[in-house]
Structure 1
Amino acid sequence: MYDLVVVGAGPYGLSIAAHAAAAGLRLRVLGRPMASWRDHMPPGMFLKSEPWSSNLSDPTGDRTLSAYCASRNLPAAHGTPVPITTYTDYGMWFARTAVERIDEQTVTSVRTSGSGFVVITEDGEAIPARTVALAAGVMPFVNHPEPLTVLPDGLASHSSHHSDLSRFKGKDVTVIGAGQAALETAALLAEEGATARVVARAGRLNWNTPPQPLDRSLLRSLRDPHCGLGTGWPSWVWSEIPWAVRRLPGPTRVRIAATALGPAGAWWLRDRFESAVPVLLGHRLQAASPSSGGVRLDLTTPAGARTAIETEHVIAATGFTPDLARLELLDRGVRDGLRRVGGGLAPDLNGRFESSHPGLFFAGLLTAPSFGPSMRFVYGAGFTAQRLVRGVRRRLGN
């Protein structure tokens, strides 16, 4: 029986595995390494976060993105966007060097068995475990606007479902959303030769400002501190002391996770986007239906009038919802019995990422309503891995 089975091999799963291996736990890691980055992001994308805040975590602290890039003569400087392809390669290097073995089988079920668990794979293997860490990434939690759910796959998709946008060359494509995924997807579509537009319910687009220098006066640093999620005291709290966020009342944490660090485009994308993509601001999607030209989108204008546009394909860049009910690989009996944060959709976790079911731990997006918005970003992986592995050892009596 394994001490710990980690389900998922993205930045969170790999970081947990690295810390667990160093702690001497009998470990099994299941999942395709960096799957979301390798399979669901098109070429041409860049990291929005700074290189120094995008590290995976291992106990030595040696396997940083900067160390990887330096060994290959690649730039990884503050204020210099890192290509997604470089970051994916970094994650694969981390997996090879920090984790002894990763089994790329897909997990189909996690069930209780006696005082522990049994993890079932698509090949039918039943893996016994004393504890389980679910680091399933974001793909189970894709958020589709309800009006688009009536459309067939050929007419509508989510931005996370595209590893190649070149197939839209010469097509008319409408992107729904106002965050980085929407704006970067639309810019890439235009650069691939598509006619792209953005429809956003927001009244204006928000753009991040270029990062301030790391080397600043003490006064400027105190007024507007750097942190893993940008600058400013609110961001500093979310990123640097998630343990304190967890001590807030449940409904407050749920609200923070849903509203803090709202949609915004990266500073380096703005010129590319504004020169190539028109935007319909303040427009709300009311309905969608197949049409002779592809899709008819019925919208409400800022003045409350109804209008419609015809497009050949619509891409929803509408994020992800941390809803435990969507984690279908977890046995329903266990899922339904878990305590929720503030009566919401996500599991309520203790300070070591353990759920109300003993030995069942969570990492990544589902933990944002417990620990705050840093859990939506790679930056939260280090805090998670250290705390979670300590929790596993405590549960095991180590």
Structure 2
Amino acid sequence: MYDLVVVGAGPYGLSVAAHAAVHGLRLRTFGRSMESWHAMPSGMFLKSEPWASHLSDPERAYGLDAYAATRGVRATHGVPLPVDLFAGYGDWFARQAVPALDERLIGSVAPGRDAFELRTEDGEALRARTVALAVGVLPFMEIPGPLRGLPRRYVTHSSHHGELDRFTGRDVTVVGAGQAALETASLLVEGGAATVRILARADRLQWNTVPPPLDRGPWPRVRVPHTGLGCGWRNKLYADTPGVFRRLPAATRERIFGSALGPAGAWWLRERFASVGDVRLGQWITAAAVTGDERLRLDVTGPEGTAVLETDHVIAATGFTPSLDRAGVLAPELRGALRRVGAGGAPEVGGLFESSWPGLFLAGLLTAPSYGPSMRFVLGAEYTAGRLVRGVRRRLRAGVRGGAVGRPRTGGRTPVSA
């Protein structure tokens, strides 16, 4: 019987495991280290500043700058960080701070009589008093309705792709107006795609501005403070006070989650993106079908009505929706018992990242509707990891006293994670 099993080995899962390891918990961590980051196309860069991209360990000994020093490079403000360097940093962090990472995936998490029952992808069964679910963003990929169900030969999500060389000489339509869409389109042009177009509901593209220097006078620092989510006081509130965000009225949280830090391209991408000549804004796909000559026929609606577009492939760079219905690793009886917030069906998360099922803790994107926009970025791992492990330790003590671990709450809130 384990005290804690961490499901996931991205920035949040590794950070939680690093904090749990120092407390002597009987711990197992499962997942392929930085899997989604390693899968990104070469040539991509982080949108976040390096100083806002640290994983979290209790002593803060294994930050990104420490890893960069081992590579003989510097992670510098205002200089885009290559994704492959960041993925390597996560692997190094795991070796330094996470004991015995098991790179198998967990296939299911189910409730037991007095603990959680887990099963690995190859069939090993194990039991845990508490579970931290940190599965990243991949289970929550959002693809526009008319494109769902079409074969991956014709439609993919931007997260499906490593290298993009399969599209050399082909006609590709990228759907979206955020960083993933704009950078994917740029890489496609640079990689030799014959035709690349952007199709987006937005009526204009948004671009982040060049960040001001860190070393500024006192008045500029007060007027427009730096934060890990960009400059400005609103972003500072999102970045520094997720606990305050959680206490806002549910309707306010939902509105902010749906609108804050909307789609925008990084400042350093704008010049490269100029090579994408076909940008169609204020338009969206209403129907899609495979034609007789094995292309995609898209019905595209915009201000001037509906038109027909043919393309070889559509890449949907349309983000992620943190819905419990997509958390397939959770057994149906566990998933169905969790309290939810918002129209998207995200789980309700308590003050120390515990769900409404005692002993089941959540980290990363699934907690963003409760804790705010910072949980959509690596930045949120620092706020999450130590607090979540504190909640685990309290829950273990409460479970030993009252037998609560692994049993659903029937109403109200538990004081353990208040």
Whether these two folds match at TM > 0.5 is yes
Q: CA offset at residue 342 of structure 1?
A: 4.3
Q: Does 1:123 align with 2:122?
A: yes
Q: CA deviation at 1:301?
A: 2.2
Instruction: Determine if contact 2:321/2:344 at 8 Å carries over to the other structure.
Output: no
Q: Counterpart of 1:155? A: 154
Aligned to 2:349: 349
Q: 2:4 maps to what in 1?
A: 4
Q: Aligned ranges for residues 332-343 of structure 1 at < 5 Å?
A: 332-342=332-342
CA distance in 1 between counterparts of 2:102 and 2:219 reads 50
Q: Deviations over 1:71-127 (max 9, x none)?
A: 211231000001011001100000111111111111111011122211111111111
3-state SS of paired residue (1:120): strand
Q: Please list, as runs of the form range in 1=range in 2, the aligned pairs for 1:1-398 lying within 5 A after superposition.
A: 1-39=1-39, 41-194=40-193, 195-291=195-291, 292=293, 294-303=295-304, 305-342=305-342, 344-397=344-397
Q: Distance in 2 between matches of 1:233 and 1:346?
A: 27
Query: How far, CA to CA, are the matches of 1:282 and 1:58 in structure 2?
Result: 44
Tell me how far 1:251 sits from its aligned partner.
2.3
Residues 201-252 of structure 1 deviation map (CA, whole Å, 9 limit, x = unaligned)? 1000000001111111211111111111111111111111101000111222
Q: What secondary structure sits across from 2:143 in the alignment?
A: coil
Question: Which deviates further from its counterpart, 86-95 or 332-341?
Answer: 332-341
CA distance in structure 2 between the partners assigned to 1:157 and 1:320 by the alignment: 14
Q: Residue 397 of structure 1 aligns to a residue in which SS?
A: helix
Contact kept in structure 2, 1:178 and 1:263, CA below 8 Å: yes
Q: CA-to-partner distance for each residue in 1:377-398, whole Å, 9 max, x for gaps?
A: 0000011101100000111129
Counterpart amino acid of residue 47 in structure 1: L
Give the distance between the partners of 2:108 and 2:322, measured in 1 at CA.
19
AA paired with 2:272?
R
Identity of aligned residues (%): 60
RMSD of aligned C-alpha atoms?
1.2
- Report if aligned partners of 1:186, 1:277 keep a CA contact under 8 Å in 2: no
Shift in Å, 1:293: 5.5
Q: Report the secondary structure of 1:253's partner residue.
A: helix
The 1:98–1:277 alpha-carbon spacing in structure 2 relative to 1, beyond 3 Å, is: farther
Shift of 1:277: 3.7
Contact 1:293 1:310 (C-alpha < 8 Å) held by counterparts: no
Name stretches of at least 5 consecutive residues in structure 1 with no aligned partner.
none
Quick check: 2:42–2:83 contact (8 Å CA) kept in 1?
A: yes
Contact 2:198 2:280 (C-alpha < 8 Å) held by counterparts: yes
Post-superposition CA distance 1:165-197 (Å, at most 9, x none): 011111110000000000000000000000211
Contact kept? 2:322, 2:344, Cα under 8 Å = no
Distance of 1:64 and 1:355 partners within structure 2: 29
Q: CA deviation at 1:148?
A: 0.7
What is the Cα deviation at residue 151 of structure 1? Answer: 2.2
Q: What 5-or-longer segments of structure 2 have no aligned partner?
A: 399-418
Aligned residues: 396
Mapped to 2, the partners of 1:251 and 1:358 lie a distance apart of 25
For the 8 Å contact 1:159–1:316, the answer to whether it is kept is yes
Deviates more, 1:256-265 or 1:271-280: 271-280
CA distance in 2, matches of 1:178, 1:378: 21
CA distance in 1, matches of 2:253, 2:91: 33
SS at match of 1:103: coil
Give distance in 2, aligned partners of 1:374 and 1:251: 18
SS at 2:325 equivalent: helix
Q: Secondary structure of the equivalent of 2:213?
A: coil
Quote the Cα distance in structure 1 between the aligned partners of 2:313 and 2:16. 39
Rounded Cα–Cα distance in structure 2 between residues aligned with 1:170 and 1:298: 23
Aligned residues of 2:205 and 2:264 also touching (Cα < 8 A): yes
What CA distance in whole angstroms lies between the structure 2 residues aligned with 1:33 and 1:275?
34
CA contact (8 A) 1:251 1:341 kept: no
Supply the AA of the counterpart residue of 1:155: Y
Check whether the contact 1:17–1:99 (CA below 8 A) recurs between aligned residues.
yes
Q: Distance in 1 between matches of 2:240 and 2:261?
A: 14
Deviation at 1:302, TM superposition (A): 2.2
CA shift at 1:30, angstroms? Answer: 0.6
